[in-house]
Amino acid sequence: MFEIVILVLVLTVQAAWLMIPAYISNPMAVVLGGGKPIDFGKNWIDGERILGDGKTIRGLTGGTICGIIAGIIQMQISPLNTLFVSPPLIAVITLSFGALFGDIVKSFFKRRMRFRRGAPLLLIDQLDFVLGAWVLTYIFDPVWFIDNFTVITMLVILVITPVLHRLTNILGYHVKLKKEPW
């Protein structure tokens, strides 16, 4: 029993470790966001905004850079132990940028469905950035992705991410960084 608890704990920590660039870039976009929207305020052919004011250039670039910095720190730490793998730089970049790219793609479809900015979409709001990070990483480094993101690791991530996401957003809401606690 004790061994199983330890095994699950190690698996969870290792899964979270792989996602750190995405786990940093996503909330840092909220912290650093504001200013010019990525769609420059323009509308799509349906008359709705392409992405909306919630997706800004500063959020995208600032968030991506923070995620990459976190990943570079991971690359320095991992050779010191056997528990954590060292992500290649390309994966660090695709995990950070992919997370925000996934969030942008979601907003694009949210606007097409005429959801106002900030309207909640259960699970999609929590997992958009995970899917974006995975897809871009798979495209740019499929060998590393398949080696490290096993089915069990991905399942762990799908379970822990909405919980972590919810906790950070409640925190973000209380420190007044976010307008909604989701």
Residues 6+ apart with CB under 8 A from 155: none
Using CB under 6 A as the binding rule, whether residue 52 contacts ligand CTP is answered as yes
Using CB under 6 A as the binding rule, whether residue 117 contacts ligand CTP is answered as yes
In the region spanning residues 137 to 176, those forming contacts with ligand CTP, defined by CB under 6 A, are none
- Residue closer to ligand CTP by CB (options 20, 30) is 30
- Residue closer to ligand CTP by CB (options 15, 38) is 38
Residues 6+ apart with CB under 8 A from 22: 67, 95, 96, 98, 99, 129, 130, 133
Take residue 55 and report the two structure tokens written for it.
């997706």
- Residue closer to ligand CTP by CB (options 54, 87) is 54
Take residue 160 and report the two structure tokens written for it.
């822990």
Using CB under 6 A as the binding rule, whether residue 59 contacts ligand CTP is answered as yes
In the region spanning residues 24 to 43, those forming contacts with ligand CTP, defined by CB under 6 A, are 29-30, 33-34
In the region spanning residues 8 to 27, those forming contacts with ligand CTP, defined by CB under 6 A, are none
Instruction: Give the residue among 147, 121, 160, 113 at the shortest CA–CA distance from 19.
Output: 160
Return the residue of 28, 39, 54, 66 that touches ligand CTP, per CB under 6 A: 54
Return the residue of 70, 110, 137, 156 that touches ligand CTP, per CB under 6 A: 110
Helices 89-112 and 20-32 pack at an angle, to 10 degrees, of 50
